[in-house]
Structures are given as structure tokens and as C-alpha cells.
Structure 1
């Protein structure tokens, strides 16, 4: 008995599960829609809507024959030329199922073919029965309606079929669903319950649902649609269009106050416009029908309300809220960054004032130096009264003259001692030694003070530099970055159609029209959904090829969500090859280099030559390259980067520490290259036609002067061009040329290879050969090739 009950229960659950599956596939909804569209008619007898529905379902649903039968049932329940439409449906069935079943039709061809079949079948029918020119005109009009309604159904049907799996609908889909629903209401024409029109009740109810869930704009749009379609089916006054539209508008305006307020808004809209038109309290839509729709709207079960809201609503409200918050956050960030910038500017000014004050104090230290000499040598001398009391100014000026001679000649002795002191001083030797010793100590102190003054100046410049960076960043956030709502909405809809669930999309567009699209989604656990589905779909939607700026998958970091940063793919690519050798073929080279891809589709090639050779030069050049990489990758401007490197090199020690900077930044979208040089030797561009262009420079290396001068030049590259960057060890290899660049130009013009590594090797080998196979300096050459993708 227990076994029997279990089996019975299993069968019940199985049947219940099948019923749920049918419901989840929205087959019941489509069946109801098929029946109503089959009954719907306009202009007293034209029924094109069921024809268009059947034509669309023939290409989109395996159950189209069942739905076609339901359309026929709807046709048979109304009066009119039903047989003509049956013939049209049979022709559509034969055409799409047998004649053109293997053809790939887009929606235009499908809609056109459906309208054409309706035109042909209708024309044949009226020729076989009776022929009036008016009938031919009406068939032409009906065929146009079939064509247009097929387009509308192509948006609405997929959204209705897959609504259980869809989370967002586009505005076009929402409007098309509203139009199809409005037309379906026509299928309720002449249907009454207790004398009340089901068509009017359904129209009011539909307007309420759309207005309450979609807002004023959707409510008014649906109201206009229902009013227009109602006017086409009956002889009612067109004022009904305005009544439905105004009522839907007010219902949408009051929706935030709840369902009751939204429904009262519709009643109020109907009453106001009716009174305005008629000048009385007689309503164009029966008040009882409005009350019935009001009651149904209020008692609609929550699951059904949520289902309808799911069809109407989209994620756009959430997007708008997120955008409002993002705008607020942007304003807060901008204000905070401005405050940080002002604070760093204040710090820079403070250090600058301290540095100026220190310099003024140092200029008055001569008096202290003379006092030190006098107290040490003259305090116990028997001639003190004669020298200092009786001849103070002469003695004082003579010691100043001695210090002046010491500064000019580097040393004070008996030969260059001032005559006054030489004749009068009894302790000449001790005085000479003391002046030399005190001056040497003072000189060392002065050098340290000067170094401290320079450091404070550097710190001041760095504070001001950081302030400028923060200020530029705040300006960029405030003015240059815009959220592209249209692209975001299009991407949400596209992903939803493909059943790719996305948590958040942010589309940033800069002033040059370049996109950065941030997409956040759940981790696919290395199933490569990003590469195989998301990136191709984004490229298709925006019409530009995009790539993921972040390499790898966040699965490696143990994160639950992936964040894709998609940017426009480069039109060009760049590749750099190196050939190098150190002085005397040692392990350590004083030349350091780097090449890497930066933000905004930029490619950087950098070479630094430290002062001298060996470990010390390697440290200086490596520090330069490391700072250059880190700051450029962080997005700092090239001016700030090189000034920062210059400050660091100057502050390393009291010893001289400088290195050259040879920087080339290539824009991979435009193929423009900017050469920035600080003490570096010339660079070369070998064009695809064999010509060689020389890029010269006249600036000093970094780490010599506080105010560094940058030599910058911008050139346009072409597909297949080469950029050749080298250290002075290569350029100075041939002493026979007056112009050192001539021998490099000759070699580049003679090389036929398109391989950057072979070109680099050839230049290095020629340089070693011209040195007589003696490597007297570090040699490095970088060859970068650029080509169009």
C-alpha cells in the first residue's frame, strides 16, 4: 500500500513538473496570445495580426503548428473572411516549412515575405470571389500591417518566451510587448461580462500595470498605443487616445506613492480629460469598468505582479540610482583631491621659503669667521692694542683681503699674504695656518649647507610636482571621463539575451572617444567565458575590437568575481629586440633598458646610460629605469617622471651621480612616437622605404642640474618602420667620421632585413669591428619594429 502511494505521488509530481516546465517555457502565455491575436481585427474586418504571429512562430518555435491551430481557433470565433486567412496560413506553412526552410532569413526578409504571401493570397481570393478596387487597396494595407507587426513581434516574442531567464529588457522590447499586449486586447472585442466590456477593462488594467511598473513615460506610451488601436477597431472618437495617454501619465507620476495612488491617478486623469472634452461629468470610459480594473489591479497576487513587473521593468532604475551615487562620489573625490593638492602646494611653498632663508643667513658668516681668527691668534698677542684698538679697520680689511686671496688662489701663504699683515703681524705663520684651517672648515660647512639648501629645493619641487599630479587627476576625473549610458544599456540587454549574467557594467568614454568598459561578473572558474563570449559580444555591440587589459583570471587570486577591463584594441603592434655587450665583456653593464605596454594603448622604449662603467654606473642607470617604469605605469606624465628621477639622482649623495634618459613613447592607435631625451645620444627611424631619419638631442643628463631640460620631438610612423635607440658606446665606435651619425646611417641603409633582432645584431657587430674588436665602453642597441595589425 505504501509502495502504491509512493508511486502515485511520484506520478503526480512528474505531471506537476511537466506542467511547470510548460509554464516556464511560457507556452500557455503564447497560446493565449495566439488565440487573442487570431481574433483581433481592425477597420471592421482586417485580421493581419494572427498571420504575422504565425509567420514569426514558424521560425522561432517547434510548437508553431500547435500555436497555428490556436490562431485558427481564434479566427473561427469571429465573423469575417476566415477562409482567406486560412489559405494564407497554409501558404506560410508550405513556404517556411518546405520551400525556404534551409535559408537563413533576417527579420526584414521574413517580414517582407510574410507580407508578400498575404498580398498574393488575398489578391487571388478577391479575384476568385469578387473584385473591387477598394478590396485590393485594403489587402495592400493589411499586408503592410503584417510586415510591420512581424517586426514588432520579432522583439516581443523572444522576450516573452525567455522571460524566466531574462533579467533586463531593452526599451524597444518593453514598447513592443506593450504594443502586442494592446493588439491582443482587440481579441476581446464584443466580449462582455455582466454588460461590461472586457476590452475596456483589459485596456485600463494594462495601462495601470505598465504605468505603475514603468513610470510616467511608459504609462503614457502604452496609453497612446491602446487608445490608437481602440480607435482603429471602433467608431469611437479619437479623444479616447488622449484619455488613455493622460491617464497613463498620471498613473505613472503617482506610482512612487503606491498602487492605490497610481490607480487613483488613472481615475483622476480620465475624469479631468472627460470633463474638459464634454463639459460634463459623463465619462467616455464607463466608471464601473474603471472600478473593476481598479479592483483587479489592487488584488492581483504578488507572484503575478512580480511576473508582470519582470516583463516591464529593467535594470535601468538600478543603473540610474548607481549613476546618481557615482556622480556624488565623483564630486566628493574631486573635492578631496583638490584639498590634497592644495596641501602639497602649501608644503612646497613652505620648504621653498625655508630654503631662501637659509641662503641669506649663509651670506653673513664672514664676520663670524674673522672673529674666530682674531680670538684664536690675536687674543694673547702684545700687538693686539695696536692692531685692533688703534687700527681696527685696516686690520679687519686686511684679513678680508687675505680671505679673498685664499678664495681666488685656493691657498694662502707668505708670498700672497697682504702687505699690511705681512709687515705688522708678529705671528704671521700661525695667522696663515689659522686662516687656511678656519676657511677650510667653513668651506665644508658651507658645502653641506648648500647641499641642504638644494635638497630643500628638491623637496619643494617634489611636493609641488605631487600637487600638480593630484590636481591633474582631479581635473581628469571631473571633466574628461563620462559614463556612456546608451552603451551600458545596450550591453546589459545583449548579455541578457545570451543568458550571460553580469553583475555590473561601467562604460567610461574619454574626450578622444576611447572606451574603457569595466564588467563585473561571477567567476566562470577558468571556462574562458570572458574570451569566448563576452569580448566578442562587446566588440559586436560597440563596433570596435576590444581586448582585456587585465591578463589572467581572477580565479588565480581566489576571488569570487571577475572584473574585466576592456579597452579598444590597438591598430598597431610593437616589438623590441636588444643587442648589448659590456665594457671588456664584463658581466655588469652600465646601460639599462626597458620596454613595456602602458595605459591608453601606449608602448614605451627606454634606455639609460649611467656615468662611467661598471657597478656604480649600473646602479645609477638601473635606478633610473626602475623609477621610469614604475611612474610611467602608474600614469604620471613624462615631465613629472623625469623631474622626479632627476631629483632622486641629485639627492643620492654628495658625489656626482647622473645618467642619460632616452625615452620613446609610441601611440599604438595612431602610430605617432614621441622622443624624450635627457643627455642621450641620437636615435634613428628606419622607414619602410629604406630612408633613415636622425632624431637629435642637446640636453644634459639627469642628476646634474636642478632644472632639467627635456628635448622632445614627435614623429609619425608607418607600417613596418623601425626605431633604433643606442648608447654612446655604439655611436662613438667609428672615429673616422666628423659626424658620428653618418656611419650608423650607412649601415641602416645597407641592411635589407626586416627582422629587428638581426638589425640590432648587425649594428653591434659593426660597432665592435670599428673599435678594432676592443670593447672600450658599454654598448647597447634597441631596435623596435611597428606594424599594423
Structure 2
């Protein structure tokens, strides 16, 4: 194993060393100023229209503003470049730099935002320097002044461009993608630098033409036709202005960038073929003589050779900052994944924090509570003895020689005061044992009242701690589930993807992209990108039924985003259909036919695949009772939708309502939680009337007993579980229905009989008939607020039938 590890390290060491060496060289070149010097040298040689030098001063001004410590290096590079090209122009560069520095010092006193004024300073310095030189040479004419103004304007524009593009020449990785404007500015900087190579010839080939075509190849391969043609136009225009005789190269570069971008699917050779085709087509007509095609074609081949030997890592590094590329998408996904992981980690930390807080608020266990009670009794007896036995002459006799007997007597007096008083023998022995028997007994009874109050208060605190602990634990579980949901990652389900793409292709539907997050039974989660769907329901009518057959489960469209323009993309999310659905019917009436009822009801669809039905009856009638019951249901709905367990939710509602007001106005709660995957039901009844389940000709009663919501701060919630089936009817009602029948002794039997005798299975009809039966027994009088909810459990049958997958290959085999 050690040998294998050494071999693996020896294999990776050269690659790591080369990678570190490359990074170190790049860092040295940039930090030492070599790259900046090379750019300045070439810009010092750059001309346009044979006499304008609009590149030198903007470069110096930008470097002086961005890196003041590199200003002298930039000035020296510009002067050396000017000397190598045309020594007569060195005076213009020197004079322009001096004037720029002088004007900048003057304006720094009044202008705080120097960035906005740098282009204006460059314009002033460039025009002034050119005018002064013309005046000294006695060549000042209107034409020369106009040319100086144009040169100054170009210098101001290039200053704005260089201020945005020079910071990109850094070893620091950008944390964002480049905007289109920044890409163009960077290309203008590179093209401006290339103008400094005009006149350089290598084996009869023009260096600037090779570099320009190489630049077009790189960006056409990275960004496609749009970026490639744009780079070709910009580069060709700048080089054409520097050398008017080769202005036709702008067409060559633009057309080559367009063709190369269109052929980028053919990798590097495809882009190279685009350049060669553009060279052949434009070169023949641009030169006007096919005989001159040799050098032009060799220049393109040289650029193609440089492009082919360019490392893939360098091109990928450029592509990371170009919007629309795969590398840029991966970079964005990696960034989003990092943000997601950080967010999930923070949520998990909060979940752990709430769990720790829950443990700290957890009440004492039974043994700890027993120990606490014993300590409280000891403290009680110690206070009694401090006031009575401390100064008694029999202290040593009672508490040293007869400690157990004295302690037993006092404990008996404390445990059962009435029994001790009625027991003559015990009282006689106690009087004989203690000389202050009456005083000690009275003091024990006095302290005992304080002990009972303290014990009751401690019990309330323990219940409050238990409630807070349950709430914190519920929040911890919700946040833990949320963190898991955030970290939902796209799993590898290549087999299912291939099946789906093949099946859709067989019926003529095209799919651009598929993301399968989960294929678990009952929790399928698939996202799909398809071409413009035109809103005809293809996803619901065709794709979802086909997925149902492939995954052997009912699939429905959960969400669909239609494209708002022709040939756009539609984003569709598919998920598992619930195994059961709930159909409900509701009937309610206020006392005496009033507008406001003290009853409130709510139907809540929870995100966990459950369905909640709740009825709350406020104490009394009218608006005050309605507000009380409505507040109960609203608070319960918010807590349930947050994902907290229903038992904790009811306790939380009870705690809030019991502390909110001192009025003796309470409310009942009848809650049923139905699981739509397996039809299981949990009933939580708080001082509510029984519910009924009708299955065929049988009717079952569901009931439990709890005090009303808000009456006391602590109570235990009885939970009744039942397994329902398709076709079952659940009938829930308030006391106005249950107790409303007049002259009926056994209301439970009467309601069961009425429900059993109903021939209809429509929930709304059953609700209406029940209310009508109750009102009829009262001779048409509504004596109390009445609410009844009937829910029917049915299997969920998709609207569109499952489409079986039809394979042409299988069909051919069967035919053979």
C-alpha cells in the first residue's frame, strides 16, 4: 500500500509542479510589470491614419489612476515604443504626459470625483500638446486643428475603455462574469495593442494579421457566432484605421468569426475551417488578384496553428467569464451550489441550536422530581425546626438521640393533617414526645400552605418548560427538513433519462433537457425543458401519462412555465399524484338566522401530502365567539403549514390563547389530519363533539375528551388514529348539530341512524340533509350555531389515462 501511495504521489508531483510553476511565472510577469511594459511598448508604436497617436496618453492616464506606482514604468514603455517606431512623435508623448500631470494637479483641488474627469483631462492634454507642436513647427492650420480635436476625442473615449479593461489584466480570478461592454472594451485594448505590431513581418507574413485572426478564432470558439463576428468587426476596424490599405481585413475577420462561431460544434477544426473559408471568399475579392492569395492563406494557417496548440485550460479560463458558455454555466452552478451548501449549513446550525435549547428547557424526569420534592420537604422541616426546636431544651434529645422518630412524627403531620387531628392516639404520643407540640403542628400547617403554592408554581413552570421544549424541538425538526430540502441534489438517473428521451422521441416529442431529482415511490420529482409548447396541454395529456407508464406510478404536472415568445422554452415540473383525494361538503348556520356565527371551519392542504379539516366553536354566540374561534383556526393553520407536528401545534395554540386574555371566553377544536398517500387519519378533539365515519352500512363514532382551548395552560391531547378506505365518509360537526335535535335522548344513536339511512354519497347533500333534520326537530328554529363538514375519501384517478410505451424495435421483433 505504501508503494502504491508513493507511485501515485510520484505521478501527480510533475503535474502539480508544472501547475505551480505556471502560476508562479504568470504572477511574476504581471506583478513585476513585464506585461504592463510590453503593452505600453506596443501602444507607444501604435498609429491610426498615419499620424494620430490616440493610444499612448489614455494608457498612461489609466495606469496612473489605477496603479500610481506603475506610472513611471508605463511612461518609459511608451517612450521606448515611440522611439522604435517614429522618433519625431516622442515629443508629443512627453508633452502630453507633462500637460496631463499639470492639469490633473490643478483640478484635484476642486474635483473630488476624479474618475469622471480623467477622460476630459486626457482630451485637454492631447489637444493642447498637438496644438503646441503645430504652433512650434508653424504648421497650424484649420485642418490640423480639426485633426487634433478628433485625436483628443478618440483619446478620451479610449481612456474610458482602458479604465475598464486594464483591471482585467490581473492574476486575481474574477468572481463574476463579464458584461458585453467589458468584453468589447477588452477586445479594443487587445486590438489597440496589435496596432503596435504593424510593420512586423515574419517570413513574409504580417504579424498583426496572424494575431488578429488568432484572436477571432479564440473568441469564436469560446462565445459562438455573435462574439466571434463582434470581435472580428472591432479588431478589423481598429487595424484598418491603423493601416487603411488593409481595411478589407475587417470584412475577412468579421465573416471568419461568424462562420467559425457557427461551426464551433466541430471543435477547434470546425472553427479553423470557418476561418479558411472566410479567408478564401473575402481574400480573393479584397485583394482583387487571386495570385496574392498565398500570403493571406499562409497567415490564416499560421493563426490556425497557434490556435490548435493553445492549451485547452487557457481557453476554458477565458470561457468562464463569457456569458452563455458551458464553462460559465458550470461556474455559476458551482457558485450557486456553494451558496446553497452554506445556507443549508447555517440552517442546520440553527436546527442544532433549537434542539439544544429544547434539551435545556426539557422538564425534570421522575427521579429528579422526586429528589426535588424530598429536598423541598427537608427545607420545610428545617424552617419549622429553626423557629421552634432551635431554642428548645430538648433539642439534643429529639434531633440527636431520637432523630428518626421526630422526623417521622413531623412528616406524618405534614402528609395528612385531617387524619392526624382525628387520631387521638397519634396526638397523645406527639404531645408526649414534643413539649411544643401544638406550636410545631400549627407552624408545619402554615409552612405547608407555602409549600403547596410553591409546588403548584413549580409544576406550572415544568409544564411551561415542556411546552417550550416541544415547540423548540418542532422548530428544530422543521429547519432540519428545510436544510435537507435545500441540499436536494440532482441524482444520477441516466437509465430513466434515456428511457424518457427515447419514449418521447418515438412519439415525435423533442426534449431539450431533463433533470431527475428523485424517483422514490410517492415522491417523484422531475423537471423538463421542452421546446415551445404553444399551451395545448401536451405536458398534461401526453408527457405525464407516458411518464406514468415508465415509472409505474401516476404522474401529474405540478407546475408549468410557458414561453412567452415563439420558439422559446417551456419549463415543466412533474411529480407524484396523491393516491387519494378529498371531496368535501359544508353546511353552516348562525343562531337565529344571524349573519355572524360563533363557529369557524377551515380546510387546509399541507405541503407534506396531508389534508387537515378543522372546526372551532367559540364560547357563546355572535361576533365575539366568531373572533375567538376564527383566531384559533388561523393560528393553527399557520403553525401546521410551517411543518410542526399537529400535537405540538394544538398545545402551542392553547398556550398562546390562554395567555392572551383574561376573559373567560374559550373555544373548542375538532381537527382531522388525513394522509393522502395511505388514507390514514389522526383525530385531535379538544372539548369537541364526536365525529362519524360511514363505510357502507356501518357508522363508527370517533370521540375523545379534552378541556376547551385556552382554559388552562397545560393539558394532554388525546390522539385517535383510524385507517380509512376509498369511499369512506367522514362527518364532523359542532355541538349545534350534535346537541341540536329536540326530544332525542340518545343523540349518538339518532345521528348514526340518520347517517346510515342516507342513500346519497354526495358530501354536500349529506351535510345539507343533516342540518335540515336537526332544524326540523326544532320546528324550523335555529337554536345554536351549527356547522357540519362531510369529507369523502376517493382514489385519485388521473384525468388522462396512462399511455403505454410503444417501442418500434419491439414491434418489429413481434412482426418477425
TM range (shorter): 0.3 to 0.5
State TM-score, norm by structure 1. Answer: 0.46
State TM-score, norm by structure 2. Answer: 0.44
